Copies of this chain bind each other. A is one copy, B any other.
Amino acid sequence: MTTLKNLLNPRSVAVIGASEDQTKFGGRLYKTLLQHQYAGEVYPINPARESLFGLKTFPSIDATPQAPDMVVMALPRDKVKESITACAARGAKAGIIITSKFSDEGAQGLALEREVVAAAQAHGMRLIGPNCLGLISPTNKLVLCSSPALNVPSLIEAPIGFISQSGALMGTLFDRSYGMGIGFSHCVSVGNQADLELCDFIEFLIEDERTQVITSYVEGIKSPERFVDLARRARAAGKPWLMVKAGASDDGRRAAYSHTASLAGDFAALKAICARENVIMMDDPLNMLSLARAMVRYPNRRVRDVAILTTSGGGGAISADQLSSSGIGLARFHDATRAALAEHYSEGQASNPVDIGGRKSDATPKLGMLTSEIALADAATDLALMVLTTAPDVPAFTRQLADGAERPAAGGKPTLYVMLPGRVAEPARQMLVERGLPYVDTLAEGTAILRAWKSWSLYEAPDAPQRPAGMAPLQAPGEGLFGEAASKAWLASAGIPVNQERLVKSAAEAVAAADDVGYPMVLKIVSPDIAHKSDVGGVVLNIADAQELRARVETMQARVSREAPQARIEGYSLQKQESGELELLVGARRDPQFGAQVVVGAGGVLVELLEDVAVMPAPIDAASARRAVQALKIAPLLGAYRGRGALDLDAVVDAVVRLSWLAHDLEGSQERGGATDFEIEINPLKVRLAGQGVVAVDARARLGNA
């Protein structure tokens, strides 16, 4: 079988509809292809011409001396199927269809798209697109893309691969990154992904020896399991995978939907998967490419704390502000570093950020080089951020900084240049490009890049999840909505502690049963029709004695029948009022793409206020669950706090792990034809002091598409 490696490194290309007319797509594409000196054979197909730009043309695909490895076309939609059929029959291995209005424009287009794919598949031909911008492979000097961005003197080759679900963005980013001296191995616009899809191209880049960093613009994932597998393979291959994903917000999702009819999926679930697999998500595609350039220049370098070297105290101050608010630390220089700087800088200036303006003397030769070397030599420094402002000597000074970073004492550590000047810094930018040194033009860009680089650097691969000892795989107890008692019974069978309760039908029954439970007591309404009990006055805490209990049952009866008259009341649940120092939410759900997920976060009323939750793929290993809990905003409350001891973190982690296995089992039963969807929520899980455990005091579940 033909591998993608062969498909994307074709030895011959046929251009259907080639022309010299630059107002036509086929003319622009053909001219661009010739311009970049592709080394393979080019077969222009045009029945009306003998030759085009000096190259012999062929009247049809059947007339070419051999079957082309690749064909490219931007024919009117109605002619695509016929042409693909002919190319496939001729033995073409791959085709790029630029033409749009297929599945991107409704049911009729989708049907035609499927016919086109079937026509290709009948002869084993693979397709890119339709509705795509094509392919740019600087490593092969192969351009099958008509974007005006390609109208450049020569392509820049670099080990960065880029796969884009938006054609316009691919052209735009190529254009913009070209201006910054950023090159590529291969760029592919995937279009409608009728045949070959995002994951195919990611796999190609993982295997491509001329690609070191993978970048991607993603609107939706078609093959979630393969996506996860590829993330692991990219990691194993030592190739960072960076991604910009549209659809983080509701508004963004709507826009993505109306664009290529791809499902944006659940952003939180994808984020959880990416966090687990160290696929780095970024907001801005240009920053993604800038980070890729930096990672290519400094492979496998970890970045946490930064030294700022600046030509302006003001620039240093703003830089420090922006880094700090993004969680990036300023390296705390060691005494030896301060002493070394103090030889050249005024008192109080020999620290991080280093303001070159604080120099003792204008006459010190190569102060920039010395400073750069000293700052990078400090073990606390992971990277030097060079913040350049407009000054008479920007180019020379930038060169000095770069020279210093290459001195042996600097240890080859990464640098990133923030070139704030405009025109004045052009020669300096040129020098940086020539030396392959990463730069950006604004502090915001520098900060975004460092934040993503730090996140990638701090990744810890998860352990293999271990099912808790003695926890048997669970079966879903049928489908439907499950109330508190049923949900808790089921959670208890998974080994999650729940509080004891008694179900009663009336005030009299309640008083009679109360001694089995004990005061202070909690009273809750039991109804399959009431999901949010407290919204209708269906929860009363801290009931002190029989007299109060009787009164509360009666009041609750009256209020619920007033506020939820349609609800079937099954009775009242009496529960021991459980103590706890903190309330958490622990939940699980099935993501339609990535399957079982477990969630932990602030519980009680804080859920909606804080949105302080961690989402993790299920099942989860204990160490990862612990890290997720400890990264919550409310994590400080789990430690010793205001006079009380630390809380039972182990028990929290155990509950999260058990619920994650429960979710995993449900997911498995779904695969065996069981529940097709589910959500389970414990809220609150009360957390006690260390050694005293946790207890679920309320829960509910939905299994199946109820």
Contacts and interface: CB of A to CB of B under 8 A. Distances in A.
B391 A168 contact: yes
A258 B422 CA distance: 26
Contacts of A171: 389-391, 421
Interface string A120-161: 000000000000000000000000001111001000000000
A608 interface: yes
Interface string A617-646: 000000000000000011011000111000
Interface stretch (A58-66, A242-250, A373-381, A464-472): A242-250
Contact of A324 (B178, B251, B390, B425): B251
A423 interface: yes
Interface stretch (A270-278, A345-353, A685-693): A345-353
A316 B256 CA distance: 8
Contact of A255 (B106, B166, B320): B320
Chain A interface size, as a band, is 35 or more
A459 B581 CA distance: 42
A610 B420 CA distance: 35
A283 interface: yes
Contacts of A637: 605, 609
Nearest to A22: B392
A112 to B, nearest CB: 15
Contact of A259 (B314, B319, B322, B636): B314
Given A348-B258, A609-B636, A643-B535, A252 B286 contact: no
Give how many copies assemble into the complex: 2
A108 to B, nearest CB: 12
Contact of A391 (B148, B258, B608): B148
B166 A247 contact: no
A605 B641 contact: yes
Contact of A321 (B164, B168, B251, B260): B251
B176 A422 contact: yes
A330 B258 CA distance: 15
A584 B283 CA distance: 36
Given A168-B314, A246-B317, A246-B321, 11 more contacts: A147-B390, A149-B390, A149-B424, A166-B312, A171-B389, A171-B421, A252-B321, A254-B320, A259-B316, A259-B355, A609-B636
Interface of A: 28, 100, 105-106, 146-149, 152, 164-169, 171-172, 174-180, 217, 219, 244, 246-256, 258-260, 283-286, 308, 311-325, 330, 346-349, 351, 353, 355, 357-358, 389-392, 394, 420-425, 442-445, 448, 532, 534-539, 605-606, 608-610, 633-634, 636-637, 641-643
